[in-house]
Amino acid sequence: MAVPQKNQTLTLKIESLTAEGSGVGRANGFAVFVRGGLPGDTVEAHVIKTKAHYAVAKVTRILEPSPHRTENACPLFPRCGGCALREADYAFEAAQKRARVEEAFRRLAGLSLPVSEMLVPDSPDRYRNKAQYPVATENGRVVIGFYAPRTHRVVDCTDCLLQPAEFAGIVRVFRTFLEEFGVSVYDPATGRGLVRHLYLRKGFQSGEILVCIVLNGERLPHADALVRRLTAQNGHIASIQLNHNTARTNVILGGRCTVLWGAAEIADTLCGVRVRLSPLSFYQVNHDMAERLYEKAAEFAALTGRETVLDLYCGAGLVGLSMAKGAKRLYGAEIVPEAVADARRCAAENGVQNAEFFCGDAKDAAKRLLEGGARPDVVLLDPPRKGCDEAVLAAVAEMAPERIVYISCDPATLARDAARLLSHGYAPVRLACADLFPRTSHVESVCLFARC
């Protein structure tokens, strides 16, 4: 098998997509991952990297377009790294995500479990309620936007099609402010300069907007002028804050915020649960699709008012609290203390009296509850991308709940954990997907497990 060489030009027929959204073609049987390729394309591609078992290339010319290829509405794609599938027909994108979840179950769990429902939005654009714009300088001018793929070079982007349209006006005001007043911009190479990021958050139900400027320092010069300009530009702004991050790190936010104007938090409502959001709060970025995902999880939980529910990896408690009215008792476990405090406060402010939240690693919490005699009827699992530790799944199975509802942001780890749960006597019986991140390669899933 001839291995493609770096800088070689290949003609390839794209056959499938990777989990990251690159096309897959073959050169004399050798796998080539092609950035910008869609299944059905015939392309000319430039090889940029070769490995022992695959090569990476990028499209230089489309010789024959895929029937799934559509006109790209974003002038910055693919220079900006925010989207992976901007040129694909959205129905095809959703079908590919559905197929990827089913394939993960077949390949990693040895299970043929069809996705019973693929939840999709009315529109694949303007769905995000949060944007984090890195700020940089280029040729003496301020650049605010998003990172180019696999780099820390900022691509100037005033109006991202994934963000609310009103964010664009705020970005323009902020850029003009920085340029007019000569406020310095942070340089990660030297650790010098003041302004690092512009962070925007919107409550989709309330309409309130939070503006946060991330600083490599304590004070923003001419802050009063910025407040006047922002509040004049957008009457929905309810909070303007500074976040202080002086660490030499790629982490966007520091641990401390200062209010310049307005409230410390904005309000929103998700699945009937009223929430308050600061810059540091965890919250799903797609409000409407998060509601549909959680509603599907509640359907799988099938609560009647008699059940005790254990919510592991509960975060700020929203999944469990959205189901609390249907449960006899709700217990939530989360390792991040601030999230536990948010969950307790949210329960109190929503009048939920049958919920208890405690701080602890999911593995330790599951073991502690088991040793304490806890016997939940329903267990909710919503782990990070790496999935659940084997010890967590073993402890959950030993509690012998009637049902396990598993929300996942990674099909591969969900399928792996499905195989593990099956070995503990729990079979996956229903599987649904929700596209919370259209135009990207990500997909969320919710799976119901029952004792077998």
Exposed/middle/buried for 137, CB within 10 Å: 0-12, 13-18, 19+? Answer: middle
Q: Tokens in use for 412?
A: 């591969």
In angstroms, the CA 129 to CA 162 distance is 9
Residue 389 annotated as part of some ligand binding site: no
Is 166 a known ligand-binding residue? no
State the catalytic residue, choosing from 212, 346, 409, 447. 409
SS (H, E, C) the chain: CCCCCCCCEEEEECCEECCCCCEEEEECCEEEEEECCCCCCEEEEEEEEECCCEEEEEEEEEEECCCCECCCCCCCCCCCCCCCCCCECHHHHHHHHHHHHHHHHHHHHCCCCCCCEEECCCCCCCCECEEEEEEEEECCEEEEEEECCCCCCEEECCCCCCCCCCHHHHHHHHHHHHHHHCCCECECCCCECCEEEEEEEECCCCCCEEEEEEECCCCCCCHHHHHHHHHHHCCCEEEEEEEECCCCCCCCCCCEEEEEEECCCEEEEECCEEEEECCCCCCCCEHHHHHHHHHHHHHHHCCCCCCEEEEECCCCCHHHHHHHHHCCEEEEEECCHHHHHHHHHHHHHCCCCCEEEEECCHHHHHHHHHHCCCCCCEEEECCCCCCCCHHHHHHHHHHCCCEEEEEECCHHHHHHHHHHHHHCCEEEEEEEEECCCCCCCCCEEEEEEEEC
User: How many Cβ atoms are within 10 Å of 169's Cβ, its own excluded?
Assistant: 14
Catalytic site includes residue 212:
no
Residues 6+ apart with CB under 8 A from 390: 420
129 CB-side CA count, 13 A: 28
Contacts for 320 with CB less than 8 Å, ≥ 6 apart: 309, 311, 314, 330, 332, 355, 380
The Cα 204–Cα 151 span in angstroms is: 31
283 is in an annotated binding site: no
Binding residues: 284, 313, 334, 382
Catalytically active residues, by annotation: 409
Binding residues for S-adenosyl-L-methionine: 284, 313, 334, 382
